[in-house]
Structure 1
Amino acid sequence: MQHSRPEGPDTLGADLRALRKSRGLTLSDLGDRLGRSVGWLSQVERDISEPSITDLRHIAAALDVSVSMLFRHEAAPAHEAGYVVRRHARRTIGSHVAGLIEELLSPDLTDDFEMVHSTFQPHSRITDTVIRPTQEVGYIVEGRLDIEIAGTTHHLDPGDSFRIRGEPFRWSNPHDTPAVAIWVIAPPVY
């Protein structure tokens, strides 16, 4: 299946629509959560209206993403928009909890998946178990990472990969160096 290129390069509206749909929300559902009209939300998703900073904070909370995820980022040159993400132009995503830094490698959130560059700081860990309705594959680029999937802990080294299919998981980096992983998540959750 071939996807057409997004109408605008990495638009806020397209990302909001993708996030809303990935959470199974209608415009009406999100409007109710925000106390805003369906018409206004529709205009925001079509990049006709620009939300205020306060609106972005409320939208981020309703969609369970960081506010920084919704801020505009450095635009790609026209010939790269929707195709290429340069290292210096990656968007930071996630909540920055437990020593995890996540950057979006995908040009936007309009695909059926997202690709994330994850850096796990030394001696960091997530204490709460994560369960999400996704399929995820990770590849360890550098460092070492421990990942517990469905109650079984796996010790991963560079070149190792793993898969999670909706199972409960958590991770830790008990080592003295950062661990870096490339993580593919479907459907997108950020």
Structure 2
Amino acid sequence: METPVAEIIDGIGPRLRAMRLERGLTLADVAERTGLSQSGLSRLETGHRQPTLDLLIPLAEMYRVSLERIIAAPATGDPRMHLVPHRHASGGVVVPITRYPGRIQVFKHVLGPREPRLTSHEGHAWLFVLAGTLRLLLGEDEHLLAPGETAEFAASTPHWFGPADGSSVEILHLFGPRGDAAVPRVSPRGAGRPAGDR
């Protein structure tokens, strides 16, 4: 059964509002980052303004999602290519990128401000910061990671990670449930510095 075009269009505004709220942003924040007017964004989210490409493209770029994700048209092609985000119990939005039970798993996290709460469990974690500044607590140590920086640690170490300030942070998270870790085979000599030494 085909999804009516009107139904697809009606879902765009609420979806955009949900994306904004998930990231802890106000309409003023989005207007400043995209160059769109605050009133126009409000009308778009409430369905009082027609969603056009000149509005949706800058929003997709700012939220770092595809237009397909904003529009949510019926899925076509390989269903494995359609990533489904969900809210994580500890806060933020998680997008599973791989689904290999028992093997290294990869997620994209979008984390908003939250209170630090150390946790520990089996496994091995590797984090890569995409945007924002990540605050990582490992036991009694605190590290700040900028975009492009990484951290790797045993998940049995009491840990917590989230944004370092009042905005959101985006990361890639590799997790080996059995303690498996990413194995670097090629790396330039003397490149970079240890994560967290800032």
Give the TM-score of the pair, scaled to structure 2.
Answer: 0.46
Bigger radius of gyration? 2
Give the TM-score of the pair, scaled to structure 1.
Answer: 0.48
